[in-house]
Structure 1
Amino acid sequence: MQRYNILWADDEIDLLKPYIMFLTNKGYDITGVNSGSDALEKCEEENFDVIFLDENMPGMSGIETLAQIKQLKPNIPIIMITKSEEENIMEEAIGAKIDDYLIKPINPNQVLLAVKKILDKKRIVSEKTNHSYQQDFQKISMAFFDDMDHNDWVDIYKKLVYWDLEINETENKSMMEVLDMQKTEANVNFFKFIKDNYERWLNNPDDQDRPMLSHEMVREKVLPELQVDDDPVFFIIVDNLRYDQWKMIEPIIADYYTVEEEIPYFSILPTTTAYARNAIFSGMMPSEMAKRHSDIWLNDDEEGGKNNHEDEFLERQLKRYGQNLKMSYNKIIHVNQGKHVIENIHNLLNNKLNVLVYNFVDMLSHARTDTVMIRELAPDEPAYRSLTYSWFSHSPLLDTLKILAEKKIKVILSTDHGTVRSKRPYKIIGDRNTNTNLRYKQGKNLSFDKKNVLVAQDPERFFLPKVNVSSSYVFASEDYFFAYPNNYNHYVKYYKDTFQHGGISLEEMIIPFIKLKAK
């Protein structure tokens, strides 16, 4: 077992011999000094794993010593020991970045626990996390044999995300391989669940045993908020935001908001911006959009941007429900557009509804596919989440949320679909008019192995536009991505381990809907 070195500075260090002997017997090596200046000298000469500082030493006080040690060696954990419970002393010590503090009189066990909390925390947390996941592993695996509904799948996915984030924080990550296998097993079973139920959900809208879908979000969740009072509502869509990415940025948001409601909802198929996000803003499934909004809807085989008319879709939906209200729509792709929203906040508050669409996460996933440097920065899911966290921490979106929190403005935060790390190629053959998406294909005379894919042979049953008489849709499951036989090896090498969307997986389909209340 590793032995740790502790420096203890106290002007009555001789009286602390019982404590020092106690810690020595527990496996710690203690160096005692009786002044702040001696503590500084020892820090220059030797390396220590933790330092105990008495706050009330003659000459250089504990607070002064703390400040100088932090300048000399900023990463050494420091525990302040004080007789005083005065608030200003505590604030000064906390402001100087102490790691813990103890109030006299202290006992040996208090000291031991303080040391363990700092020095053995990672090991203890790792052991506890791994043990707890091992206990939950069996429960999750057994659930796959049950007749689960959509709520059960949401619970399973939440658990998997929770353990993913927890295990990633542990020191040795020894259970990550087991968790990855369980996530794969979960996606195999989730695909079967979607294959068995998705078509029924769409064709039985009065069925209570189904989740909220993309096209129902505004009607079921946004409109009721508009009718509560006269206060403005901000409806924010962060494109391509997975549930695990939301859980990463939630602690930042928690400084300014309480989460009033969190409902992971289900994206429609295909899980892409052109379909899922347009469904949110139009309140319709894609085949309905193609029929009723033919002037602004574009099919896969038509030239032009597929999401250039979201504001028009939303205006038409609001009018359909008798909501003739003042609204704004802003799509933020560049930082300057985000800053413009902040500069214009005062004017936006005059609107009943303000819609903000942030495209950064979607751009990140595409950049990771196309740019070697971004692939290096985000080689896997934890790194991908980390990039999202870093972006959000310094984004105009966070600045906007801070301002809205100060003004006590209602905020609804959601997304249109998630994304999955595509690892396994799946051969498919289509003509030149077949769409290019890697997770779903739409076209005629498609040739493929029917295993591990969902085939919408009759697109109308899936409320999808039927571009040609023989058109069908094919959706990839789990972590598969479609690849053409031509130039197959180059294609596979280029797209393997990239984050894609459009198909069927927990990561793409079960996504966050959040209602935030300012603190």
Structure 2
Amino acid sequence: MSQQRILWADDEIDLLKPHILFLTKKGYEVTPVLSGLDAIEKCDEEEFDIIFLDENMPGMTGLEALEQIKRIRPSIPVVMITKSEEEYIMEDAIGAKIADYLIKPINPKQILLSVKKLLDKKKLVDEKTNSAYQQDFQSIMMSFMNDMDWEDWVETYKKIVYWDLEINQTENKSMSEVFEMQKNEANHNFCRFIKDNYEDWMDEPDERPVLSHELLAEKVFPYVKENDKPVFFILIDNLRYDQWKVIEPLISELYSVKEDVYCPILPTTTAYARNAIFSGLMPSEIEATYPEWWVNDNDEESKNNYEEELLGEQLLRHRIDGKYSYHKIIRTSQGKQVNDQINSLMHRKFNAIVYNFVDMLSHARTDTNMVRELAPDEAAYRSITKSWFEHSSLYEMLKILAEKDCKVYITTDHGTVRTRKPYKIVGDRETNTNLRYKQGKNLSYNKKNVLAVKHPEDFGLPKTEVSTSFVFAMEDYFFAYPNNYNYYVSYYKDTFQHGGISIDEMIIPFIELGQK
């Protein structure tokens, strides 16, 4: 690796020879100049890794030189050094995007620390991240050997997502392969946990996590009943926990954030899980109580046309009086229209707003090669989600609501999993098309790595015919038909799907936002 080069501009450069000698002995190449003008010329002629710039030089000031240097080399880190402690100088320097700020007299160790912080930060962070993950790796693996409950799985998954984000920020990503292996192991064990416990959860409400149909009653309605403030319940379709973590910093600038998670019902799809949220009922109960609002898998009609009506009925059952609103945002223009209505929505007791972008992104990624190229993996998928959020009407809404006297919740209906392994299944023409679960008669499949449900009513699911059964894919499998197998595998492998059982689909965020 070549020496890292430092340009140092100071009209009293001779007094700094001990500092320059110190840095030279540490392996840096230092080029000294006497003025801001000299620094600009050197930047124009040569490449440097970092610049030290004295603020108070005769002729051209450090701030004036900084402005021109940034035009020539906008990405180079500049450290401003000054005798003055005047606040306006600091503010001007920070506003001009300096990388660091030092006040004279300075000592060699201060300089070295600043250089390391700016030039060696990535290497040092990589080393620290990899070392810390290696230490945590063993404790995570050991936890899989225990009899873990839901809370244990939540804590383990949060650790996994944390390390996913941290390792992704390292430069060479040397621990990525080890991490992928550990996440796959976690997913395998989590799926076994769900397979062993989910049916028991149906009969034991006190022993289970909060499920989709309990979400509003357990986590939102108590606040609605006890307070007069309007509530905004925002549901971002398909939002994984790791996607939440990349938009959280933006939201935490506006609100105090209280983070929780919950578990969606099976199938982890909009038609089942989101209808359960808004109705407060399991799918079999929706079909029995409101048959006109329940749409079966094979019906052509949209599966979520009646969320507003189901929400209204749930509010009545819980004796929540007052006006409520429901909005579904699919296009940017719809989001802007809702934002224009915020003042009138402040007079509604409960406002539900569904944002469909992340769901549309996952479908677009499957169907469009360009989107696949933009989001080839989880890290890129998160990045696109963050970029969307930064420029979305939802972010604008949250900025508006942060200034209002109201309560805000953000959640989702289910996550998604990146599917990698095909799984052969045979069904008749009435079998549904979802890649992560199948509902139908006479389904034929290998019983390994799936959850088969012969009696849908035991899972709170509607039974369209006597012989109807459900089969759920686990881990990162997806269903493919033998008669068109190669097409299915090439088209759907490495896409983000939902409907089955995985840690990414089933540990999902529920966020309570408070005014700062």
Please report the TM-score for the alignment, with normalisation by the length of structure 1.
0.98
For the Cα contact (< 8 Å) 2:456–2:463, is it kept in 1?
yes
**Aligned residues between the structures:** 516
Q: C-alpha deviations, 1:49-83, integer Å up to 9, x for none? A: 00001111111111111111011110110001112
Q: How do 1:155-194 residues align onto structure 2 when only pairs under 5 Å count?
A: 155-194=155-194
- Match for residue 107 of structure 2? 107
Q: How do 1:458-497 residues align onto structure 2 when only pairs under 5 Å count?
A: 458-497=455-494
Structure 2 residue corresponding to 1:254, chosen from 252, 256, 267: 252
Structure 1 residue corresponding to 2:216, chosen from 215, 218, 221: 218
Corresponding position: 1:452 with 2:449: yes
| Aligned residue type for 2:76 | I
Corresponding position: 1:270 with 2:267: yes
| Aligned residue type for 1:413 | I
Q: How do 1:238-317 residues align onto structure 2 when only pairs under 5 Å count?
A: 238-259=236-257, 261-317=258-314
- Match for residue 422 of structure 1? 419
Gaps of 5+ in 2: none
Q: Within 2, Cα distance between the matches of 1:314 and 1:402?
A: 26
Query: 1:11 offset after TM fit, Å?
Result: 1.0
Query: 1:422 offset after TM fit, Å?
Result: 0.5
| SS of corresponding position for 2:51 | strand
- Match for residue 347 of structure 2? 350
- Match for residue 366 of structure 1? 363
Bigger shift: residues 346-355 or 413-422: 346-355
- Match for residue 69 of structure 1? 69
| Aligned residue type for 1:102 | L
Query: 1:303 offset after TM fit, Å?
Result: 2.7
Q: Which runs of 4+ in 1 moved over 3 A?
A: none
Query: 1:408 offset after TM fit, Å?
Result: 3.8
Q: Within 2, Cα distance between the matches of 1:85 and 1:497?
A: 56
- Match for residue 382 of structure 1? 379
| Aligned residue type for 2:246 | M
| Aligned residue type for 2:245 | K
Q: Within 2, Cα distance between the matches of 1:408 and 1:480?
A: 46
Q: C-alpha deviations, 1:60-108, integer Å up to 9, x for none? A: 1111111110111101100011122222111110000001111111111
Q: C-alpha deviations, 1:246-303, integer Å up to 9, x for none? A: 00100111111110x2111111100000000001000011111111111101111223
Corresponding position: 1:505 with 2:502: yes
For the Cα contact (< 8 Å) 1:408–1:517, is it kept in 2?
no
Q: Within 2, Cα distance between the matches of 1:84 and 1:281?
A: 61
Structure 2 residue corresponding to 1:443, chosen from 422, 440, 444: 440
Q: Within 1, Cα distance between the matches of 2:85 and 2:256?
A: 31
Q: C-alpha deviations, 1:478-508, integer Å up to 9, x for none? A: 0000000012101110000010000000100
Corresponding position: 1:34 with 2:31: no
Q: Within 2, Cα distance between the matches of 1:82 and 1:443?
A: 75
Bigger shift: residues 435-444 or 226-235: 226-235
| Aligned residue type for 1:287 | S
| Aligned residue type for 2:451 | L
| SS of corresponding position for 1:512 | strand
- Match for residue 199 of structure 2? 199
Q: Within 2, Cα distance between the matches of 1:288 and 1:2?
A: 69
Q: Within 1, Cα distance between the matches of 2:299 and 2:365?
A: 26
| Aligned residue type for 1:140 | I
Q: Within 2, Cα distance between the matches of 1:215 and 1:233?
A: 19
For the Cα contact (< 8 Å) 1:231–1:409, is it kept in 2?
yes
Q: Within 2, Cα distance between the matches of 1:409 and 1:12?
A: 58
RMSD: 0.8
| Aligned residue type for 1:22 | F
| SS of corresponding position for 2:352 | strand
Q: Within 2, Cα distance between the matches of 1:57 and 1:210?
A: 69
Structure 2 residue corresponding to 1:514, chosen from 497, 506, 511: 511
Q: Within 2, Cα distance between the matches of 1:175 and 1:181?
A: 10
| Aligned residue type for 1:255 | E
Q: Within 1, Cα distance between the matches of 2:271 and 2:97?
A: 49
Query: 1:518 offset after TM fit, Å?
Result: 2.5
- Match for residue 98 of structure 2? 98
- Match for residue 396 of structure 2? 399
Please report the TM-score for the alignment, with normalisation by the length of structure 2.
0.99
Q: Within 1, Cα distance between the matches of 2:180 and 2:478?
A: 18
| SS of corresponding position for 1:262 | strand
For the Cα contact (< 8 Å) 2:259–2:509, is it kept in 1?
yes
Q: Within 1, Cα distance between the matches of 2:85 and 2:310?
A: 60
| SS of corresponding position for 1:515 | strand
Corresponding position: 1:332 with 2:329: yes
| SS of corresponding position for 1:264 | strand
| SS of corresponding position for 2:300 | coil
Q: Within 1, Cα distance between the matches of 2:177 and 2:42?
A: 44
For the Cα contact (< 8 Å) 2:213–2:280, is it kept in 1?
yes
For the Cα contact (< 8 Å) 1:442–1:474, is it kept in 2?
yes
| Aligned residue type for 1:292 | T
| SS of corresponding position for 1:30 | strand
Q: Within 2, Cα distance between the matches of 1:174 and 1:224?
A: 47
For the Cα contact (< 8 Å) 1:425–1:496, is it kept in 2?
yes
- Match for residue 56 of structure 2? 56
